[in-house]
Amino acid sequence: MISIFPNLLSGAVITLQLLVSSMFFGLIIGLIFAILRINKNPIINKFAYGYSYFFRGTPLLVQLYLIYYGLANIEFLRNSFFWLIIKEPYWCAIIAFSLNTGAYTSEILRSAFQTIKKGYIEAAQSLGVTKKITFYRIQLPIAIKQSLPAYGNEIILMLKGTSLASVITIMDLMGEARKVNVLTFKPFEAFITAGIIYLFITFIIHNIIKYLEKKYGFQT
Amino acid sequence: MELLSFGDTGWGDELFFATLMTIAVSIAAMLIGFLFALIFTPLKLSKNKSLNILGNCYTTIIRGVPELLVIYLLFFGGTGAAMYVASIFGYDGYIEINAFITGALAIGIISGAYSTEVFRGAILSIDKGQFEASKVLGINKSIQFYKIILPQMLRLSIPNLSNVWQITLKDTSLISVTGLVEIMRQSYIAAGSTRDPLFFYSVAAVLYLILTFLSMKLINKLELKYSKGY
């Protein structure tokens, strides 16, 4: 059990890298699509809804395969600069995870935007604050604070999602556990140790979010 | 479109049966999950400290580790465990556990953890007065549960159970790694032999979207039916 620990830890580093980068890109995508979702233009609105519907309605594995195996099928992508990115399983995984978590994040932020009390916006308007400043200084900070608990859940879901990277040959924590299982024929040791590491990461994320909620949480 | 025709030349019929398999595994997993939820919900609500910890351990661990891990553990570990048990009884041959059963059990354990949380929340949101009123009226515990708590609990948990169902449906795609031929596995096979992954994984995505869409419609109907009078 001790001998496999270093292997699994090196996998855990990859898992954390995948998690951090896909949460980063996912947050940007989510924010953009949340703003598009509250747009009054029906076409923009429908487009953003379609995006989130597709990525929330299909399994992450399908999205991962579509990007990893599917995109390589398109001729002009293969001849373009993008091929440098999509030929690497690592980047494919990050693209798939970012788009997936982006869809969930956009829903979380959208519902946060929509539950902001009208009074705040009206107050800003009556004080003559411009629309742009109202958005950046009032709506956005409140929405982010309100969505902290739901976003914490999303981070943990994504942590579990990164384990899928192992099926496209990335040696993350799950991939290392699979390798140990194949080499030693000890499935319980390999997977239970990996499970404990996953639980430990979940525990840390949970506590960070709890701390942030306490510090920055929004009380109405 | 020719690729999707039914019969020997197309993949239409294979994908159709794979879709049925996905639905079958999802339903089986959901039912197994209910079974787990019925065991662990009372534990989580119990006043006994150690039972409480047992219930919390189940939901915390299962919701904290990747779904894939549970599936691998059951798939690789299950065979070993079954062979170990058999060797005690003097049978040394190779035992292979059916992929459907392992898959449904693995996904069932996961969906059970979510269902447990849903049921717990529903029971906690039932007005305390109802428990007190039935106590005052001298209704015994089991009738109180079956006639008063259970119907309300089910009604309150339908919206959240629909989320659990969606998660379960999507999780079944993970069983494909163990070789059970459901939508994902079938698309993988089709993509491999036709060398057209983009097309077949798109078809898989559309099939999942259709399944989630239809089940949403069905659940909305159920919700409307059971919230009559409220």
List all residues 6 or more positions away from A121 whose beta carbon is below 8 Å from its beta carbon. Answer: A134, A138, A139
For residue B227, pLDDT beyond 80: no
Contact A62 B188 (CB under 8 A): no
Q: Which of A65, A160, A181 sits opposite B201 (nearest CB)?
A: A65
For residue B16, pLDDT beyond 70: yes
DSSP annotation of A90 reads: H
* pLDDT value, residue A1: 61
pLDDT digits (tens, 9 = 90+) for B135-176: 899 888 888 888 888 888 888 888 889 999 999 999 999 999
pLDDT digits (tens, 9 = 90+) for B62-78: 999 999 999 999 988 88
* pLDDT value, residue A115: 85
For chain B, give the percent of residues with pLDDT over 90.
50
Residue A175 contacts B where some CB pair is shorter than 8 Å: no
Distances from the Cα of B141 to the Cα of A145, B34, B41, angstroms: 43, 21, 16
* pLDDT value, residue A146: 86
Q: Which two tokens stand for residue A194?
A: 């990996």
Residue B192 contacts A where some CB pair is shorter than 8 Å: no
| pLDDT level of residue B52 (50, 70, 90 thresholds) | very high
Distances from the Cα of B219 to the Cα of A52, B155, B160, B162, B166, angstroms: 20, 12, 11, 7, 11
Of the candidates B156, B174, B56, B49, which has an alpha carbon nearest to the alpha carbon of residue B108?
B174
pLDDT mean over B183-206: 91
* pLDDT value, residue B142: 85
For residue B2, pLDDT beyond 80: no
Q: How distant is the Cα of A117 from the closest Cα of chain B, in angstroms? A: 25
pLDDT mean over B82-92: 81
Q: Which of B66, B176, B191 sits opposite A174 (nearest CB)?
A: B66
* pLDDT value, residue A220: 54
For residue B229, pLDDT beyond 70: no
Domains defined for chain B, CATH in brackets = 21-226 (1.10.3720.10)
Residue B214 contacts A where some CB pair is shorter than 8 Å: no
The mean of the pLDDT values for chain B is: 89
The pTM assigned to this predicted structure is 0.89
Q: How many CB pairs under 8 A join A and B?
A: 115
For residue B222, pLDDT beyond 90: no
Residue-by-residue pLDDT tens, chain A, 220 positions: 667 888 899 999 999 999 999 999 999 999 999 999 988 899 999 999 999 999 999 999 999 999 999 888 887 877 888 888 888 899 999 999 999 999 999 999 999 888 888 888 899 999 999 989 998 888 888 888 888 889 999 999 999 999 999 999 899 999 999 999 888 888 888 899 999 999 999 999 999 999 998 888 766 5
By CB atoms closer than 10 A (0-12, 13-18, 19+), residue A131 is: exposed
For residue B93, pLDDT beyond 90: no
Distance separating alpha carbons of residues A166 and A93, to the nearest angstrom: 10
Domain ranges of chain A: 22-170
Q: How distant is the Cα of B147 from the closest Cα of chain A, in angstroms? A: 35
The helix (H) or strand (E) run that includes residue A119 is: helix A118-126
Q: How distant is the Cα of B17 from the closest Cα of chain A, in angstroms? A: 18
pLDDT mean over B113-117: 94
Q: With respect to CATH, is domain A22-170 assigned 1.10.3720.10?
A: yes
